[in-house]
Amino acid sequence: MASRLSGFNTHSMLAKERSCSALGLVLFIMVQGCTSPAARVDQVAAGFGFSRELIQGTEFLHVVYRKDSGHGAGPLHIYLEGDGSPYLDRRWVSPDPTPRNPLMLRLMALDPGPSVYLARPCYNGRATAPPCDSTLWTQARYSAEVVDSAVAVARRLLSQRQGQALFLIGHSGGGTVAMLMAAQLPETRVVITLAGNLDTDAWTQYHGYEPLRDSLNPARRPPLDKRIQQLHLVGANDDNIPPQMLMHATARQWRARIGTVAGFDHSCCWQQLWPMVLESTVQAASSDGWSVR
């Protein structure tokens, strides 16, 4: 009797769970319909006083948030966000990969220099705009197609400025893109990554993910130019990009400083450290003779 009763209860509980899951999915869709991830990022950017525009890359239009008019002198700091939400619950491809927590917008708000936030192709509400396809935020998230388009936007931004020095700053997958962009942009003087995914093969193997076969891997590319200063930071408690993974990924790079930050993980608490990191990097670049103010 006890066994049959237990089975009945289990069946009832499963039915309730399916019902609750279905209700939860409906509620999720309703909430997303009311306030999309892209709209929330727009709100965060507007709260910081950033202007929003669309800039043509290669085949793609990119969302860009500016902190200045875009025409001043001095180096340009380009902020590159992480991968956002390429999957839902790590199982289903997301219809919109836009980050739910735009960390790089928050860091850019602390930057006193001329800065822009450069979104990747198909992010920030453009997932359904041709020629976007979900492979561009899953298997091909670091593909030549993605990187080349971001590089084209960076060149347009640089053409508007008197100074030609460039800082590329990326978090997580944004660090991947920063390294790949730097190889194509001779104006790059500094690359800073925070919890950067700098060896995508090692990363997928570590987590048991499918290899990103349609993506480029910075660890398998030639080292960046010797003139480029690199600073790569990772949290001691980061279980997404463990510190040892970063050490191996940067072993072949020239002029790469690597730091492990106690008490930090993949997302916390980079805002606390950012003003000091940025100031020390600007000073180091200045000592090389580059005009970075």
Residue percentage of the chain with pLDDT more than 90: 74
Do the beta carbons of residue 252 and residue 176 sit within 8 Å? no
Say whether both 29 and 52 belong to one domain: no
Say whether both 57 and 147 belong to one domain: yes
Say whether both 47 and 29 belong to one domain: no
Q: Is residue 170 part of a domain?
A: yes
Which is it for strands 188-194 and 166-171: parallel, antiparallel or unpaired? parallel
Say whether both 13 and 52 belong to one domain: no
Helix (H) or strand (E) run with residue 232 in it: strand 229-235
Say whether both 135 and 172 belong to one domain: yes
pLDDT, the chain, mean: 86
Do the beta carbons of residue 83 and residue 172 sit within 8 Å? yes
- pLDDT tens sequence across 97-142: 999 999 999 999 999 989 999 999 999 999 999 999 999 999 999 9
Q: Using 50, 70 and 90 to split pLDDT, how confident is the model at 70? A: low
Q: Using 50, 70 and 90 to split pLDDT, how confident is the model at 243? A: very high
Taking the model in full, what pTM does it have?
Answer: 0.85
Considering its fold, how many domains does the chain have in total?
A: 2
Helix, strand, coil percentages (3-state) for the chain, rounded to 5, are 40, 15, 45
Q: Is residue 293 part of a domain?
A: no
Say whether both 72 and 171 belong to one domain: yes
Say whether both 8 and 75 belong to one domain: no
Q: Is residue 270 part of a domain?
A: yes
pLDDT at 69: 55
Say whether both 14 and 114 belong to one domain: no
Q: Which domain holds residue 7?
A: 1-34
The residue-averaged pLDDT of 183-196 equals: 96
Say whether both 65 and 21 belong to one domain: no
Q: Using 50, 70 and 90 to split pLDDT, how confident is the model at 71? A: low
Q: Is residue 239 part of a domain?
A: yes
Say whether both 22 and 137 belong to one domain: no
For position 94, which CATH number holds? 3.40.50.1820
- What is the number of other CB atoms lying within 10 angstroms of the CB of residue 252? 12
Q: Is residue 92 part of a domain?
A: yes
Say whether both 17 and 125 belong to one domain: no
Q: Is residue 179 part of a domain?
A: yes
Say whether both 114 and 9 belong to one domain: no
30-39, 197-206, 236-245: least confidently modelled range: 30-39
- pLDDT tens sequence across 9-42: 323 333 333 444 444 444 444 444 457 899 999 9
25-34, 53-62, 196-205, 248-257: least confidently modelled range: 25-34
The strand pairing partners of 63, in sequence order, are 54
The residue-averaged pLDDT of 227-254 equals: 94
